[in-house]
């Protein structure tokens, strides 16, 4: 008896085998679709990733993280901005210039620079 749900239509074209491991043998001989053939099954998120970093890099990400959820905190970008703000301030930019460039208030720029 089969302990997992498998559509029989997947195995209709495979030769019958004898023994208790029939389903396992059929699964082992099942040919998985190639990446080029899967096209329409990709999620919108994967397609966006593929457009952003390219097919090869997206497939590498898929190989490493397949089946998992990846969380990318927003503060990664915030911390990067803060680093640039501090660097530009040291190079001579004013609080006003930095607030206009990065879209923060001057008070927030001062807090970033002085790490409050």
pLDDT, residue 2, reads: 47
Per the structure, the complete domain to which residue 56 belongs is given by 36-70
Whether 25 contacts 17, CB under 8 Å: yes
Distances (CA, A) of 108 to 3, 26, 83, 86: 60, 63, 14, 12
Residue 105: C-alpha distances to residues 90, 110, 111 (Å): 18, 9, 10
Could you say which DSSP state residue 41 is in?
A: G
Q: What predicted TM-score, i.e. pTM, was given to this entire model?
A: 0.40
E-strand ranges in the chain read: none
What is the reported pLDDT for 84?
93
pLDDT band at 1 (very low <50, low <70, confident <90, very high): very low
Angle among Cα 57, 81, 109 to the nearest 5 degrees reads 170
pLDDT digit string, tens, across residues 60-107: 988 898 888 888 776 677 778 899 999 999 999 999 999 999 999 999
Residues 64 and 79 in one domain: no
What is the C-alpha to C-alpha distance for residues 9 and 2, in angstroms, rounded to an integer? 15
pLDDT at position 79: 79
Judgement on whether residues 83 and 55 belong to the same structural domain of the protein: no
Placement of tokens 């053939």 in the chain: 37
Q: How far apart are CA 62 and CA 43, in angstroms?
A: 12
Residues 89, 104 within the same domain: yes
Q: What is the pLDDT of residues 17-65, one digit of tens each?
A: 555 456 555 555 555 555 555 554 567 888 888 899 998 998 898 889 8
User: For position 10, what pLDDT does the model report?
Assistant: 54
The pLDDT, as a whole number, for residue 87 is 95
How many structural domains comprise the chain? Answer: 3
């Amino acid at each position: 008896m089969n302990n997992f749900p498998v559509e029989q239509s997947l195995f209709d074209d495979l030769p019958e085998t004898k023994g208790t491991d029939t389903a396992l043998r059929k699964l082992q001989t099942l040919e998985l679709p190639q990446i080029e053939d899967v096209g329409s099954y990709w999620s919108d998120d994967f397609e966006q990733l593929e457009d952003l970093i390219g097919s090869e890099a997206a497939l590498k990400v898929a190989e490493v993280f397949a089946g998992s959820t990846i969380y990318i905190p927003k503060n990664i970008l915030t911390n990067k901005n803060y680093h640039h703000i501090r660097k530009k301030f040291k190079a001579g930019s004013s609080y006003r210039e930095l607030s206009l460039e990065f879209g923060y208030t001057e008070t927030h720029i001062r807090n970033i620079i002085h790490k409050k």
